[in-house]
Structure 1
Amino acid sequence: MAWMIWVGALLTLFGLALLVYCIVTALKAKKLGGTDEEVLARLQKVVPLNMLALMTSALGLGAVTIGIILT
């Protein structure tokens, strides 16, 4: 089950990369400024991607844990 550990690690790293992208995008949205509604609209576009990143990281960590238990 060593392959499950590697796949889980890759999923986790992909999720973390998405989280970093979300953070950078949110910081840019705040830095650009504008009205509250404009900033909120920009930030709301990041929310689904942020949830996907969190889910991907969680699934990857789960796969790593299961791979370690089964090894």
Structure 2
Amino acid sequence: METLIWIGAAISLIGIAGLGWCVLRAMAARRSGLDDAAMRKRLQGLVALNLGALLLSMLGLTMVVVGIFLAP
């Protein structure tokens, strides 16, 4: 079960990196000075990626918890 813990930790870190990337992209969009319609369009695309990264992080943390519970 130690392998499950390490795989889950890696998946969780990938998800957290994706969340950080989404934050950086949103900050770059804010600094670019777009009008409301263009800003809304760009941020709508980021919402899907943000939710995907959050799901990946949650899945990784779930794997870690399951690995800890199943460890002898």
TM-score of Structure 1 vs Structure 2, range by shorter chain: over 0.9
Matches for 1:23-38 after TM superposition, within 5 Å: 23-38=23-38
Other-structure match for 2:66: 66
Structure 1 residue 45: deviation in Å?
1.1
Structure 2 distance, partners of 1:14, 1:34, is 29
Question: What secondary structure does 1:33 align onto?
Answer: coil
Structure 2 distance, partners of 1:12, 1:19, is 11
Structure 2 distance, partners of 1:59, 1:42, is 26
Matches for 1:1-16 after TM superposition, within 5 Å: 1-16=1-16
Structure 1, unpaired ranges of 5+: none
One-letter amino acid of the structure 2 residue matched with residue 22 of structure 1: C
Structure 2 distance, partners of 1:23, 1:57, is 15
- Deviation >3 Å, runs of 4+: none
